[in-house]
Amino acid sequence: MQKQRLDLIEMFVVSLGGGIGGSLRYLLSFLPIVGQWPLMTILINWLGTLLLAILGSYLSHRSSRLKRWQAFLGTGILGGFTTFSTMLLQTAQLTQSNIVMAGLYLVMTVVGGVLMIILGQYIGHVLCGERL
């Protein structure tokens, strides 16, 4: 019974965070679009990846009591904020007009994401007072 109660609390925490993250992504859709390239999606996914790497690195050095923060911030807010499916849809749409740009968009998104993970883990370690 206690486990079920904790699972329901975690589900609520993730749902709340997802609503916040999705709302933040929606608000960013009001910023002006530059050209036909989906820059906002790249920036959203890079920022979300960076913040998730920082969070994961930081929380891995902290008490398990912070597990709900991982669920709220990581799975909830950042999961709702980032958008893998939109990135794939935009890649498919770009292939209709310019396959080279579509490939470049996909490569930039993935390579930039990997770089954000490396940077985020570094920042997380620094926040925990570790020297690398």
pLDDT on residue 7:
83
Q: What's residue 72's pLDDT?
A: 92
| 91 annotated to a ligand binding site | no
Residue 83 counted as an annotated binding residue: no
> Can you tell me the distance from the alpha carbon of 58 to that of 38, in angstroms, rounded to the nearest whole number?
31
Distances (CA, A) of 113 to 50, 92, 103, 117, 121: 8, 19, 15, 6, 12
Nearest-CA neighbor of 18 among 60, 64, 71?
Answer: 71
pLDDT tens for 25-48 read 999 888 887 777 788 899 999 999
pTM of the model: 0.85
Stretch 68-88: mean pLDDT = 91
